[in-house]
Structure 1
Amino acid sequence: MMADALEFRHEVARYLATRLTYQLARPLWFARLAPLHRVRRSPPLPTRPGWVRLRVRLSGICGTDVNLVTGRDSLYLEPEASYPFVPGHELVAEVDADGLRPDVADSPLQAGTRCAVWPVLGCRARGVAEPCRPCREGWEGMCERRGDEWPGRGIGIGFNCETGGGWSHACLAHRSQLWPLSPRVADEDALLLDPAATALAALLRSEAAEMERTLVIGGGTIGLLIAYLHRVLGRPGSCELLVRHESQRAWAEHHGVAATVVRGASEFRDWASARRMRAVRVIGYGYVFRGVYDRVIDAAGTRSSVTQALQAVRPRGLLVMVAAPPTLAGVDPTPLWYREITLRGVYVYGPVPWKGEWVHPYTVLLPRQEAGTLGLRDLITHTFPLDAYSAAFAALVHRRGSGAIKVAFRPGTAEA
């Protein structure tokens, strides 16, 4: 049986068209410019031990996906995908009875089992007999054996031509990637486990006892979740959040997070002045700030957010990058060496320090969702069927008008 899917292809001309249009004439940009195609595909079949077919219930659009479709992602990441692929690494799905292999059927995974997915493909999922050192230690995102075994070099579900992804009715996953869900956890909450794991990694891997003041820059899903988890998990010190849109500020404050809307340089100066950050104007340069925050986490990944982070962090403080622009052209790196700022990157797919141990992020998050103490579903502001993908991306690109925070696809529905 054929089913709808969205397929991203390696088409240079269309990629350049979407990139240039987005950069030079954003109001004219629309998703159909991108090398993203609505296609009809046969559901993939699991032919390898330990693999199952999933029926997708809900799949998110993350910042990486938006950068991919608008042409803003770094070409450094191109070797991490295999083409053509179906995007969608954030997904909630159920085990398909027609795609349940006998070697999996005797496990807790049964037909209809609803699961959250850990999308990265490490040595275990690839069936590597002798796992690499990062995978042995739980750092599957740093796997050194990508491409050595099936399903090839694509880093994970949603970037791999063999497994498929969540922007379809069905995809493949290895049983080690599946986390069965309690009936107490709604699909919408489970969908946010992957971005919440990113937020948790940014928060916990960069934490130190002497940190009294944390600033998070970025009001997308990750930035909101970092500030929210700082509060609900009772992490030390204070945490503030800078966002660009009123809908983001409203969500944050509804959940007990202090947030300020800052859209440009003048608003940033006013915000900084209220926090007694010294600023000196330099002709031909702009303003030089003396930051006051022990840790600044950049979850926006733009040149302006990196600049603001360098301005806000104190001398010898810590700058954490959860996202980054494809180029830092126009960003002055002088504060890094002159003020001895430590720069740290965070990539989600590995363990986090928790109560004296390094554990899988889902083991921290999922029990709280089951207990009802980590409700995240209201971050999802819009859902669309696959055939309305252009409208889905329009809502994300024009957040100020749409009020969108998290947007997701429901593959089983159709556009009205």
Structure 2
Amino acid sequence: MNLTLEYHRSPVRYMTTRTATGTSVGGRASGWMAANLSPLRLLNRPEPRLPGAGWTRVRPRLSGICGSDLGLLTGRNSPYLSALISLPFTPGHEVVGDTLDDLPDLPKGTRVVLDPVLGCVPRGLEPCAGCAADQPSRCDHITAGRVSAGMQTGYCADTGGGWSRVFVAHASQLHRVPDTVDDERAVLVEPLACAIHTVRRAPIPDGASVLVVGAGTVGLLTTMALREYTKAGPIYVIARYGHQRELAREAGATEVLASDRAARALRRATGGFLARPERGSEYLLGGVDLAFDCTAGSGLDTALRVVRAGGTVVMSGMPNAGVDLTPLWFRELNLVGAYCSGGHDFPDALALAQSAPLTGYVDAVYPLSRWRDAIGHASAAGRLGSVKVAFDPTKDQ
């Protein structure tokens, strides 16, 4: 049998969790409520079946807890996504594990990381326009084919996910991990690939000034990707906690800013005029060339307010809050989305993982049996001094 954490639809629990973990309840208390009220169940299930040729079972070594997972468990994810999943599903899409079946280029026992997007190739379909362009994150067929609906592994009832002892994946989703990359680095490869994809979503001129809003896992990895794959000039990072400020500097930040002083600090650094509206946050007339929103909260609002006229805002954090779009209109900004990774980002992420300053990022690992503790910790990771919390499904206690 396969020990697995399953997510089941429960409108009552969804609304209760969303209310209980609202803005009036924050930090660790919010995480504990999400864990205790969320519709997760720890169950023993049969292993998922192989959907066809080219598929293998995978036994996770480590599986990360992502911000989108927390958004799901706290009822903050948009209902837009509800049409792109199948229930019940097992979460977990940041995975390093071992294959359990022989494939032509991946013999049994190969250590792999997972590209979770379930595009046309694993679904056994003729490529749509996105997949034909080697951009499976733009797949139009994620509700069709040989497996049930699911934008990714971790949201699909037929594949299982990383929060279990066994799930299934197609060979096209798997990337061999070099021996020089340990498990703690390997479990960060998927979010690192997403960060690389993010910085490639918009042209970044040589010497451009860049702001990264947020210094959690996504923000820190985006800062690394900016330094490695672009010729950006000054990179400013907004960080909330002390350990994040230190890690942002190690990742390549030129200057680290406090969230409540960001507009004023950027006015001094880039020039411009600080405007103070009757209601709402202050903003710049002037500012940085580009901003990357790497949060799941108010980061987009901040980014829109500190980018120069005609500049670009790239949104990589999953949105879950309303935002005033007036700056987008008035300053004629470019707003760009960045979802998952592209076709070439995983090999680059595996290469960067070997040299990037990732030591200590995974500092809390839990067995599946302690899932409530894990969710509570991940929800308060910033305040508790953590970056990435993960499950080790191989452990009992």
Aligned partner of 1:361: which letter? D
- The residue that corresponds to 2:190 in the other structure is 194
- Match runs of 1:148-187 below 5 Å: 148-187=144-183
The count of corresponding residues between Structure 1 and Structure 2 is: 391
- Residues 235 and 379 (structure 1 numbering): CA distance in 2 closer, same or farther, change over 3 Å? farther
SS where residue 282 of structure 1 aligns? coil
Q: Distance in 1 between matches of 2:204 and 2:230?
A: 14
Summarize deviations over 1:14-69 as a string: whole Å, max 9, x none: 11111100004343624121011111112223241111111111101111111011
Aligned partner of 2:94: which letter? E
Summarize deviations over 1:95-145 as a string: whole Å, max 9, x none: 11xxx2xxxx361211211111111111111112x2222111111122222
- Residues 131 and 245 (structure 1 numbering): CA distance in 2 closer, same or farther, change over 3 Å? same
Q: Tell me by how many angstroms 1:10 deviates.
A: 0.8
- Residues 134 and 236 (structure 1 numbering): CA distance in 2 closer, same or farther, change over 3 Å? same
Summarize deviations over 1:152-171 as a string: whole Å, max 9, x none: 21122111000000000000
SS where residue 206 of structure 1 aligns? coil
Q: Distance in 2 between matches of 1:89 and 1:196?
A: 13
- Residues 228 and 283 (structure 1 numbering): CA distance in 2 closer, same or farther, change over 3 Å? same
Q: Distance in 2 between matches of 1:79 and 1:229?
A: 32
Aligned partner of 2:372: which letter? S
Contact 1:243 1:249 in 2 (8 A): yes
- Residues 192 and 399 (structure 1 numbering): CA distance in 2 closer, same or farther, change over 3 Å? closer
In structure 1, list runs of 5 or more residues that go unmatched.
352-359
Q: Tell me by how many angstroms 1:270 deviates.
A: 4.5
Aligned partner of 1:281: which letter? R
Q: Answer yes or no: is 1:388 the counterpart of 2:383.
A: no
- Residues 249 and 288 (structure 1 numbering): CA distance in 2 closer, same or farther, change over 3 Å? closer
- The residue that corresponds to 2:115 in the other structure is 118
Q: Answer yes or no: is 1:366 the counterpart of 2:350.
A: yes
Q: Percent identity?
A: 33
- Residues 322 and 146 (structure 1 numbering): CA distance in 2 closer, same or farther, change over 3 Å? same
- The residue that corresponds to 2:286 in the other structure is 291
- The residue that corresponds to 1:278 in the other structure is 273
- Residues 272 and 174 (structure 1 numbering): CA distance in 2 closer, same or farther, change over 3 Å? same
Pick which of 251-260 and 74-83 moved more: 251-260
Q: Tell me by how many angstroms 1:151 deviates.
A: 0.5
Q: Answer yes or no: is 1:336 the counterpart of 2:328.
A: yes
Q: Tell me by how many angstroms 1:149 deviates.
A: 1.3
Pick which of 66-75 and 139-148 moved more: 139-148
Instruction: Flag the structure with higher strand content.
Output: 1
Q: Distance in 1 between matches of 2:304 and 2:352?
A: 34
Q: Distance in 1 between matches of 2:15 and 2:286?
A: 38
- Match runs of 1:130-141 below 5 Å: 130-141=126-137
Pick which of 406-415 and 79-88 moved more: 406-415
- The residue that corresponds to 1:25 in the other structure is 25
Q: Distance in 1 between matches of 2:250 and 2:356?
A: 14
- The residue that corresponds to 1:356 in the other structure is none
Q: Distance in 2 between matches of 1:318 and 1:398?
A: 30
Aligned partner of 2:303: which letter? A
Q: Distance in 2 between matches of 1:132 and 1:194?
A: 23
Q: Distance in 1 between matches of 2:112 and 2:239?
A: 32
Contact 1:192 1:377 in 2 (8 A): no
TM-score (norm 1): 0.88
- The residue that corresponds to 1:52 in the other structure is 56
Q: Answer yes or no: is 1:82 the counterpart of 2:86.
A: yes
Q: Distance in 1 between matches of 2:171 and 2:276?
A: 57
Contact 2:113 2:186 in 1 (8 A): yes
Contact 2:367 2:391 in 1 (8 A): yes
Aligned partner of 1:232: which letter? E
SS where residue 165 of structure 1 aligns? coil
- Residues 177 and 327 (structure 1 numbering): CA distance in 2 closer, same or farther, change over 3 Å? same
Contact 1:211 1:295 in 2 (8 A): no
Q: Select 2:340's aligned residue among 338, 342, 348.
A: 348
Q: Tell me by how many angstroms 1:288 deviates.
A: 4.0
Q: Distance in 2 between matches of 1:112 and 1:240?
A: 42
Q: Tell me by how many angstroms 1:377 deviates.
A: 4.2
TM-score (norm 2): 0.92
Q: Distance in 1 between matches of 2:104 and 2:278?
A: 68
Q: Distance in 2 between matches of 1:239 and 1:324?
A: 22
In structure 2, list runs of 5 or more residues that go unmatched.
none
- The residue that corresponds to 1:61 in the other structure is 65
Aligned partner of 1:341: which letter? L
Contact 1:6 1:38 in 2 (8 A): yes
Q: Distance in 2 between matches of 1:116 and 1:8?
A: 23
Moved over 4 A (4+): none
- The residue that corresponds to 2:387 in the other structure is 405
Q: Distance in 2 between matches of 1:20 and 1:76?
A: 19
- Residues 131 and 283 (structure 1 numbering): CA distance in 2 closer, same or farther, change over 3 Å? closer
Q: Select 1:206's aligned residue among 192, 202, 207.
A: 202
Contact 1:243 1:259 in 2 (8 A): no
Contact 1:249 1:259 in 2 (8 A): no
Aligned partner of 1:348: which letter? C
SS where residue 402 of structure 1 aligns? coil
Q: Distance in 2 between matches of 1:30 and 1:337?
A: 36
Pick which of 319-328 and 279-288 moved more: 279-288
- Residues 410 and 284 (structure 1 numbering): CA distance in 2 closer, same or farther, change over 3 Å? closer
Q: Answer yes or no: is 1:218 the counterpart of 2:200.
A: no
